[in-house]
Structure 1
Amino acid sequence: MKRLVALLSVVMLLIAAVAYSYLKPTAAPSGPITADPVSTPSGDTDARVFTISQDGSQARFIIDEVLNGSPKTVVGTTNQVAGQISIDPNDVSSTRVGTIRINARTFQTDSSQRDRAIQNRILETSSYEFITFTPREITGLPGDPAIGRTYNLKVTGDLKIKDVSREVTFDVTVKPESQSRLTGKATATIKYADWGISIPQVPFVANVSDEVRLELDFLAVSS
Structure 2
Amino acid sequence: MSFFTRRRVLIGVGGLAALVVLVVGGTYLYVNVISGDAPDPLALETDPPAASGGDLDLDGTWTVADGSEAGYRVDEVLNGQDNTVVGRTSDVTGELTVAGGAATEGEITVDMTTITTDSGSRDSQFRGPIMQTDEFPTSTFTLTSPVSLDGLDDGGPVTLTATGDLTVRDVTHSIEVQLDVQRSGDGVQVAGSGEIRFADFDVDPPDLGFVRVEDSGTVEFLLTLARS
Question: Which AA in structure 1 matches 2:67?
Answer: G
Q: Is the 8 A contact 1:183 1:220 kept in 2?
A: yes
* Alignment partner of 1:48 is 2:60: yes
- Quote the residue 2:101 is aligned against: 92
Quote the offset at 1:50 in angstroms: 1.4
Please list every run of 5 or more consecutive structure 1 residues that lacks an aligned counterpart in the other structure.
1-45
1:68 CA displacement: 2.2
Whether 1:151 aligns to 2:162 is no
The one of 121, 125, 146 aligned to 2:133: 125
Distance 1:97 1:113 in 2: 38
Distance 1:65 1:161 in 2: 20
For the pair 1:186 / 2:186, whether they are aligned, the reply is no
Q: Given residue 134 of structure 1, which amino acid in structure 2 is its aligned partner?
A: T
Which residue of 123, 127, 134 corresponds with 2:142? 134
**Structure 1 CA distance, aligned partners of 2:105 and 2:70?**
17
How well do the aligned residues superpose, as a CA RMSD in angstroms? 1.7
Once the two structures are superposed, residues 179-202 of structure 1 have per-residue CA deviations (whole angstroms, 9 ceiling, x without a partner) of x30012111011111111002332
Report if aligned partners of 1:138, 1:154 keep a CA contact under 8 Å in 2.
no
**Where does residue 112 of structure 2 map in the other structure?**
104
Q: CA deviation at 1:155?
A: 1.3
Cα distance per residue 1:2-33 (max 9 Å; x no partner) = xxxxxxxxxxxxxxxxxxxxxxxxxxxxxxxx
Matched, 1:204 2:210: yes
- Within 2, Cα distance between the matches of 1:72 and 1:107? 18
Structure 1 residue 105: Cα displacement: 0.5
2:223 counterpart of 1:218: yes
Runs of 4+ that moved beyond 6 A? none
Residues 171, 202 of structure 2: 8 Å contact kept:
yes
Q: Does 1:66 align with 2:77?
A: yes
- 1:116: which partner in 2? 124
Q: Residues 114 and 147 from structure 1, CA distance in 2 versus in 1: closer, same or farther, beyond 3 angstroms?
A: same
Secondary structure at the aligned position of 1:99 is classed as strand
The one-letter code sitting in structure 2 at the alignment partner of 1:70 is Q
Residue in structure 1 matched with residue 51 of structure 2 by the alignment: none
> Does the Cα contact within 8 Å between 1:138 and 1:153 map onto a contact in 2?
no
Query: Which residue in 2 is equivalent to 1:4?
Result: none
Output one character per residue of 1:101-155: Cα deviation in whole Å (capped at 9) or x when no partner.
Answer: 001101101100000101111000000011011111134431x632422112211
Q: Distance in 1 between matches of 2:191 and 2:197?
A: 20
Q: Which has the larger radius of gyration?
A: 2
